Every structure is written in C-alpha cells, then in structure tokens.
Structure 1
Amino acid sequence: MLNLRRGRYHARIARSPADREAALALRALCFRGGTRPDEDVHDAFCHHVLVEEGGSAAPVCTFRLLPLAAGREIGRSYSAQYYGLSALRDFDGPMVEMGRFCIAPGRRDPDILRVAWGAMAAWVDDHDVRLLFGCSSFGGTEAEAYADAFALLRERHLAPRRWLPRVKAPDVFRFACGRRRKPDLRRAMLAMPPLLRSYLLMGGWVSDHAVVDRDLDTLHVFTGLETGAIPPARKRLLRGVAAG
C-alpha cells in the first residue's frame, strides 16, 4: 500500500469514505471553484491519492489512478471519452491512467509536486507499469494564449505514429496542422502546465491536438509516458524521492 513521506509531506492512498470525500472536495475547489461537486463514474474504479502536510486536516494535492491490465482495456479510461485510442489497444503490458491531478490554490511549494511524482514512481515500480497516461490541462479555452507551448509540443513532443491518438471530441484545436510557428522557448515553458512539464522532461509525448473542454474551462492534450523510455538519471531521481 502506497505510503510515502518526504519532509513535511505525506502521500498515501485514500483508505476511508472520509479520505475520498477530502479528495473530491479539493477537486471541486480546483476544477469547479467550489460551486459544484467534481465526481464521475470513473471514481468508483480508481485509487485516490492524497498528499498531506503534517498537521493539516485537508490534502494539499490529490490525483486518481486507474490501473489497466493492458491496452485492450483502454476503452475504460476517462481519456477514451475524448480521444480515439484504438492504436493503444495493441500496447502490451500494465498501464495506469493518472487523472484529476490538482494542487490546492495558493500552494506553490515544489516539494508537493516532487512528492506526488515520487508516489507515482512507487506505484509504477510496485505494479510494473509500462505506460502512464492521462489528460494534461491548460487553463481556459483560448488556444492563442498557448501558441508557443503548442508550437513546442508540435516541434518536439508528438506521440510516436504507432500510438498517435485520433480526433474524437467534437471541439478540438489541431495544433499540429497548418502553418508552422517557431516557438519562443521561454514563453512556451512558462505557459506549460507543471504536470505536463514533468511528463516531457521524462520523455513523455502528446496528441497532435487539444480538446476544448468547456465544462471544466480547459484545453487538454492526451499525454503518454512509456516508463521504459525514462532517462536513467530521471529514474534514479524519482526512485530516490519514492524511497523517502
């Protein structure tokens, strides 16, 4: 059972209805401004991870994990609602979808993200996960605000052709089509969500389009990370965090 401590932070799997409610409350705050619940049919099949600070009654970070035995189960994932993932049905080996990742508003301590990734690394090692995937979100639905970020994704980080997700959602921004734009690297990285930056640093890849999600007021890209392709130095760093 996942149970990781680093400094003043502690990552663990939700064990009780109260733990699950705490995760859902933080999600509602982060994704819906605290005005509506944030819950869907996938929650019942997921493991919910809490990152807590010593002495705090509420989590500072949460995310959920949906384990899949292999690519043949990809249709069960949250991401499959928005992306054509038929190519990934041939993926051989355990997979896990990481979703609903959020950090409490105003919390900017980088150790929170480090502990979250350390927890993920521990899960990946314990379950021999071969592919980590999910939807990485940009705030708002105006694609032009992320022109440099999308140009950088197009130039350097598109999924391998054999795994490339197809368009499925009715409203998308096809950033890999049309006139090429040379990205400004500084602006691109400043606009990139922290979770997606972490994926990319480890060799992650993305879809060639972003889905416009007006319900959550986000643009998101499908993101995959084949664990066998993570650079050795990054693996050592993550395992060091996971070891506590």
Structure 2
Amino acid sequence: MEPGSVLARKGSLCVRLARSASEIALAQELRYRVFYVELSAKPDAAAIATGRDADNFDAICDHLIAVDSDETAVDGLRVEDGVMVGTYRLLRQSVAEAHGGFYTASEFDIGPMLAAHPKLNFLELGRSCVLKPYRTKPAVEMLWQGIWNYVRGHGVDVMFGCASLEGTDLRQHEGTLAFLAKNFAPPPEWSVRALPSLRVNMLNPSAAVDMKQAMRELPPLIKGYLRLGCYIGDGAVIDRQFDTVDVLIVLPVSNIDKRYFAHFGQPHEVLNG
C-alpha cells in the first residue's frame, strides 16, 4: 500500500495512510493533545519542546489517520483534505524484524508466540487516539474499517498490541483485570506473558468480580477487541509515563466472528483500487 492510500470513507470522514513526514508530525501532535494534555501522561523534555508524542518506532510504522473534510472548530491538525481527528500506528512483522523488533516487546515476551506461528503474518497496533468530539461509533467504526482493509491488503493473520486502563492504582482496576484474566486467557499456543521484571498479577484472589460492572468499566477499545474475539495476555504492566496499566491484546483473524465479514469484508480478499 502506498502512502496516502484511502482505506475507508463515509460522508465527510476519510481514513487513509499518512502520506508525508509532515502528516506524521501532525499525528504525533494529535497524540500529544490526547495523551498529555487531555489525559495524564507525563511528557519528557523532547515532548514538551515539540508538542508531540514521538518515539523511534514512528519512522518505521504506517500511520493510519482519520480526516474530516468538514471540521472547522479544531485548531491546527490541518492536512490537505481536512482536519486530522484520529490516528492509529501500524507495524507489520516484516518491517519490525528488519528494524529490531516490535514496540510491544518492551513490555511483553512475544517471542514464543511469534516462534510458535512461523507461517502467520503479524501486525502490531498501537498509539490509538481520537479527538474527544469524535469518540462516537461512526468515527471509531471508520478507523476499524481502515485497519481491516489494511489487514486484508497485507494478508495479516494476527493483530496484537498493548491496550490501556487509565490510572496506575491497581486497586482501582483489580476487578477489571481479574475479569479479563478469568474470561479471556489464551490457549497454550497463544500464550504470552508480561516481562518478569514488569509483570503485575491480574488475579488478586481477594478481588470481587462483578461481571457486568467490569464490562461496563472497560475502555471502548478493549471492549471492541473482546467482541471481535481477542485473547488477553498473562499479566499486566504499569506504564508510569502514560499513567496506565497495560494489557496485551492478541487477535487472530481466524477468531473473528464471520458476521463481521458481511459488513467489513472477507479476510484475505483482494482489494480493488
């Protein structure tokens, strides 16, 4: 897929790949606004100086962006065809292996999972964020359509990546973490553990788990992954910089319920255009 490739479009919203270094810089600025200004992440000196959330992985990733051609209220974030209102970072296995690995490996031991499936094609998803006015079903669904078309276009078999619970107080999350660990643990062939030096046990024996409440408290992103059929890795990781507790999402395409294909398209189907 070429830079700028359009992967979804509906009304004034277009989801496409960033086409230039300047658009990637705007995606980093959007991430800064959401992670550091709106939420509780702690910027380092470079982030403060530039007003961007950036790391070394940005240079090797594809950046999926959502653009609204009708948006007029947002300051900055303007691209040629409108205003950038959302972004997702995508890292294919072939690219990661040529450049030292995946971001996720800094928190989770993904090596055994990759080695257990040498014939499958993995895609890492990360740095997901959407401006607050656009955190509605249509905009989020459009980003998912864009990711799915990217998955289809590149013949991806497995999606994975870190997803976050806001705040680092484990007492606040013990019911949610226990709910995830008890109900979405992977079978042995998909087992992934948090790195021993970072691992936090998700199963507190004294935690009272209210299934309905835990599901209500889940971030929409994690809830969406669960509905699609993902597994949750063993152990969580506290990310002090982003003020989050991270869990690992593993989503084999073969797990996705076929009813979604009628809406989003068949896996490994050749895309036109």
Whole-angstrom CA distance in 1 between matches of 2:190 and 2:239: 23
Identity of aligned residues (%): 27
Q: Does 1:162 align with 2:166?
A: no
Q: SS where residue 241 of structure 2 aligns? A: coil
Whole-angstrom CA distance in 2 between matches of 1:108 and 1:134: 20
Taking a change above 3 Å as real, the CA distance of residues 181 and 238 of structure 1, as seen in their structure-2 partners, is: farther
- Within a 5 Å distance, the mapping from 1:68-83 to structure 2 comes to 68-69=93-94, 76-83=101-108
Q: CA deviation at 1:165?
A: 1.6
> 2:55 is aligned with what amino acid?
D
Q: Does 1:204 align with 2:204?
A: no
Is residue 72–residue 89 contact of structure 1 (8 Å, CA) maintained in 2?
Answer: no
> 1:63 is aligned with what amino acid?
Y
Q: CA deviation at 1:72?
A: 7.1
- Residue 20 of structure 1 aligns with which residue? 24
Q: Does 1:7 align with 2:22?
A: no
Match of 1:63 among 58, 75, 88: 88
> 1:140 is aligned with what amino acid?
G
- Residue 46 of structure 1 aligns with which residue? 61
Q: CA deviation at 1:182?
A: 5.2
Match of 1:131 among 153, 158, 166: 158
Q: CA deviation at 1:43?
A: 0.7
Is residue 70–residue 94 contact of structure 1 (8 Å, CA) maintained in 2?
Answer: no
Per the normalisation by structure 1, the TM-score is 0.89
Is residue 169–residue 211 contact of structure 1 (8 Å, CA) maintained in 2?
Answer: no
Q: CA deviation at 1:106?
A: 4.1
Taking a change above 3 Å as real, the CA distance of residues 188 and 51 of structure 1, as seen in their structure-2 partners, is: same
Whole-angstrom CA distance in 2 between matches of 1:191 and 1:172: 22
> 2:152 is aligned with what amino acid?
D
Moved over 6 A (4+): 70-75
Matched residue count: 241
Whole-angstrom CA distance in 1 between matches of 2:265 and 2:170: 36
Q: SS where residue 141 of structure 1 aligns? A: coil
Whole-angstrom CA distance in 2 between matches of 1:72 and 1:50: 24
Q: Does 1:232 align with 2:258?
A: yes
Whole-angstrom CA distance in 1 between matches of 2:101 and 2:113: 12
- Residue 151 of structure 1 aligns with which residue? 178
Structure 1: runs of 5 or more not aligned? none
Whole-angstrom CA distance in 1 between matches of 2:234 and 2:61: 27
Q: CA deviation at 1:205?
A: 0.7
Bigger mean CA offset, 109-118 vs 34-43:
34-43
- Residue 213 of structure 2 aligns with which residue? 187
Whole-angstrom CA distance in 1 between matches of 2:209 and 2:264: 29
- Residue 111 of structure 2 aligns with which residue? 86
Is residue 71–residue 95 contact of structure 1 (8 Å, CA) maintained in 2?
Answer: no
> 1:55 is aligned with what amino acid?
D
